[in-house]
Amino acid sequence: MGKASNPRRVADNEAMAKTRMLRTSPQKLNLVAAMIRGKKVDKALADLTFSKKRIAADVKKCLQSAIANAENNHNLDVDELIVAEAFVGKNLVMKRGRPRARGRFGKIMKPFSELTIKVRQIEEQA
């Protein structure tokens, strides 16, 4: 007699991927996440591929992971997936600094953030 399995965190027609410890501020990451929200996954991947933002490569990697989870773990059709949610959270902040004039100390904050992407299968309208 085993333990009962945990209920799914997402709906039956959804899949999720999460990336932690991305070395960028949440504000900058949210600009890239806003770029793909609500789009079909193939269009979102194309937008991330040709984006000039440095962090877009990591966002693309997370989106590809969510697509793979949908296909392999939840048996969803890749051609009918959209980016249902893409949200950003704070993570740790490394505190660094450098000496400044008149004995002062300039704080340098190096923030990390995390990204969660949910993809949802929708039935295409004919």
Domain boundaries, the chain: 14-121
The third-level CATH classification (topology) of the domain covering 14-121 is Ribosomal Protein L22; Chain A (3.90.470)
Categorize the per-residue pLDDT at 123 as very low, low, confident or very high, splitting at 50, 70 and 90: confident
Q: What is the DSSP string of 68-113?
A: HHHHHTS---GGGEEEEEEEEEEEEEEEEEEE-GGG-EEEEEEEEE
Among 6, 124, 7, 15, residue whose Cα is nearest residue 71: 15
Is the pLDDT assigned to residue 2 strictly greater than 90?
no
pLDDT, position 125: 64
Whole-model pTM?
Answer: 0.91
pLDDT confidence band for 105 (50 / 70 / 90) = very high
